[in-house]
Amino acid sequence: MLSTPRARAAPRAARATPGAGRRGEGSRRIGRARAVSEPKPASEIDWNAIGFGLTPTSHMFVATCDLGGTWSAGEVVPFGNLSLSPAAAVLNYGQGVFEGMKAFRTKDDELLVFRPDENAARCEEGSLRMSMPPVPRDLFQQAVMKTISANADYVPPVGLGSLYLRPLLIGTGAILGLGPAPSYTFLVYCSPVASYFKGGQLTPIDLTVEETYHRAAPGGSGSTKCIGNYSPVLKVQLEAKRQGFSDVMYLDARENKYIEEVSSCNFFCVKGNTISTPALQGSILPGITRKSICEMAAARGFKVEERNVSIEEVMDADECFCTGTAVVVAPVGSITYKGKKAQFCDGKTGPVTQAMYDELTGIQQGRIPDERGWNVKVPKDFHL
Ligand code: COI
């Protein structure tokens, strides 16, 4: 059961959670978390001050799927809180997947979204893994385009960031016994963002290798962008940050020897002319930035290897970097493993990392030709 700001006639039971589903109650505290604040006009945003925090925008997209598995056409509605049954499957059993995508403003004031077909396909795959009715790919892409168009003013000026989109598919129907939810909601909200890590986009990050906890196991859900994959990393990540590290690298659960990924991104290392990244074997996320980097690197003449990459060889690499939609291409300044710290490129951004970053962001921002047809242009009146 879900009510959005426009669907105000929701039954009483759907409003049982204090403050849920009502505009103007965004500052109500739940535990330590502060609920989202009201969107402010794009004209009031200080584009030089945004990082990777949530800056609510004016609109979001919502579609629903009933018991019969049929998706509604969906609509653009004002951004606001959701109202759910306490027995919603997503709250009790974590039945949900999400995506991360970015839209950019070009110097000619066009809006571009990067590889939306890939996110639509990954969302479909993830929803099947989580026993949810897939959002038709057409609906997914239309929803993303409409969300960007309805929030066009919130796409940062050229060079000052991007509009990060968060498509979210969740089991909203109430269910007590373990089983798939009787109904689902697909929504897309967004936020203008800039650099994910502190210090700016190409500031090298310091990673620590986790030896006790694992992010995913063979046969698990590590390759699905499901909601539950992320909170287990928080414990380790918080401790690493307390010790001064930027983030954590995870090793495989079987041998505790091969790199899997970093909390929020994929991993690459460079040795001579070879660029290596952990193979997709079911426990790491099939990143769309990862896939793009593999293609770009191969086209530049690098030998690209997707295979088991041991932590020992990584400590001896020439250069390392991380990739992800949020992270983009982040240089790794150092990796600490078993008390030993390997520094790369004197703690500076390496030449391969720089080249990959320049090419990727150049394509995304429409500064260099998009020969592979990765960008989709978004008309500003698409949602009307
Ligand atoms: C993304 O890169 O889009 C993600 O979803 C990672 C998230 C942990 C910020």
Cβ pair 39, 79 in contact under 8 A = yes
**Which letter does DSSP use for residue 204 in this model?**
P
String of DSSP letters for 319-375? EEEEEETTTEEEEEEEEEETTEEEESGGGS--HHHHHHHHHHHHHHTTSS--TT--E
The reported pTM is 0.91
Which band of pLDDT confidence, cut at 50, 70 and 90, is reported for residue 36? low
**Residue 209 is part of which domain span?**
201-364
The 10s digit of each residue's pLDDT in 314-323 is 999 999 999 9
Question: Residue 157 corresponds to which tokens in the numbers above?
Answer: 């000026």
Give mean pLDDT, residues 353-368: 98
- The answer as to whether 180 is a domain residue is yes
Q: In this predicted structure, what is the pLDDT of residue 15?
A: 27
Q: In this predicted structure, what is the pLDDT of residue 62?
A: 98
- The answer as to whether 381 is a domain residue is no
Q: In this predicted structure, what is the pLDDT of residue 148?
A: 98
Q: Is the pLDDT of residue 44 over 60?
A: yes
Q: Is the pLDDT of residue 1 over 70?
A: no
Judge if 181 and 282 occupy the same domain.
no
Please list every protein residue whose CB sits less than 6 Å from any atom of ligand 1. 100, 230, 264, 324-327
The 10s digit of each residue's pLDDT in 187-222 is 999 999 999 998 899 999 999 999 999 999 999 999
- The answer as to whether 2 is a domain residue is no
Instruction: Give me the CATH number covering residue 271.
Output: 3.20.10.10
Judge if 56 and 113 occupy the same domain.
yes
Judge if 188 and 235 occupy the same domain.
no
Higher local confidence (pLDDT), 49 or 8: 49
Tell how far the Cα of 332 is from the centroid of ligand 1, in angstroms: 18
Q: In this predicted structure, what is the pLDDT of residue 384?
A: 87
Q: Which of 142, 161, 196 is the last residue of a domain?
A: 196
Instruction: Give me the CATH number covering residue 95.
Output: 3.30.470.10
How far lies 334's CA from each of 188, 204, 234, 278, in Å?
Answer: 36, 8, 21, 18
Q: Which of 157, 175, 196 is the last residue of a domain?
A: 196
String of DSSP letters for 98-160? E--EEEEE-TTS-EEEE-HHHHHHHHHHHHHHTT-PPPPHHHHHHHHHHHHHHTGGGSPPTTS
Which band of pLDDT confidence, cut at 50, 70 and 90, is reported for residue 4? very low
Judge if 215 and 351 occupy the same domain.
yes
Judge if 244 and 189 occupy the same domain.
no
- The answer as to whether 375 is a domain residue is no
Torsion of CA 306, 252, 204, 235, to 10 degrees: 150
Is 225 known to be catalytic? yes
Mutate to test the pocket of ligand 1, among 231, 288, 327, 364 (most ligand atoms within 8 A of CB): 327
Q: Supply the residue whose CA is at minimum distance from atom 8 of ligand 1.
A: 264
- The answer as to whether 376 is a domain residue is no
Q: Is the pLDDT of residue 58 over 60?
A: yes
Q: Supply the residue whose CA is at minimum distance from atom 6 of ligand 1.
A: 264
| Percent of the chain surpassing pLDDT 70 | 90
The 10s digit of each residue's pLDDT in 366-384 is 999 999 999 999 999 998 8
Q: In this predicted structure, what is the pLDDT of residue 28?
A: 28
- The answer as to whether 1 is a domain residue is no
Q: Is the pLDDT of residue 340 over 60?
A: yes
Judge if 85 and 159 occupy the same domain.
yes
The residue whose two tokens read 């994929």 is 266
Query: Cβ contacts of residue 254 below 8 Å, gap of 6+?
Result: 217, 218
Judge if 67 and 171 occupy the same domain.
yes
Which band of pLDDT confidence, cut at 50, 70 and 90, is reported for residue 69? confident
Q: Is the pLDDT of residue 18 over 80?
A: no
Q: In this predicted structure, what is the pLDDT of residue 218?
A: 92
Judge if 80 and 180 occupy the same domain.
yes
The 10s digit of each residue's pLDDT in 71-121 is 999 999 999 999 999 999 999 999 999 999 999 999 999 999 999 999 999
Is residue 355 classed exposed, middle or buried when 0-12, 13-18 and 19+ CB atoms within 10 A define those classes?
A: middle
Q: Which of 152, 173, 196 is the last residue of a domain?
A: 196
- The answer as to whether 358 is a domain residue is yes
Higher local confidence (pLDDT), 384 or 288: 288
Give mean pLDDT, residues 129-137: 97
Average pLDDT score, the chain = 91
Judge if 82 and 221 occupy the same domain.
no
Judge if 70 and 23 occupy the same domain.
yes
Judge if 41 and 105 occupy the same domain.
yes
Give mean pLDDT, residues 124-141: 97
Q: Which of 225, 303, 338, 341 is catalytic?
A: 225
Mutate to test the pocket of ligand 1, among 144, 215, 265 (most ligand atoms within 8 A of CB): 265
- The answer as to whether 283 is a domain residue is yes
Give mean pLDDT, residues 258-268: 97
Give mean pLDDT, residues 286-290: 98
Judge if 116 and 227 occupy the same domain.
no
How far lies 318's CA from each of 143, 333, 350, in Å?
Answer: 42, 11, 8
Q: In this predicted structure, what is the pLDDT of residue 67?
A: 80
Q: Is the pLDDT of residue 265 over 90?
A: yes
- Work out how many domains the chain is built from and give that number: 2
Bridge-based pairing state of the strands 83-84 and 2-3 = antiparallel
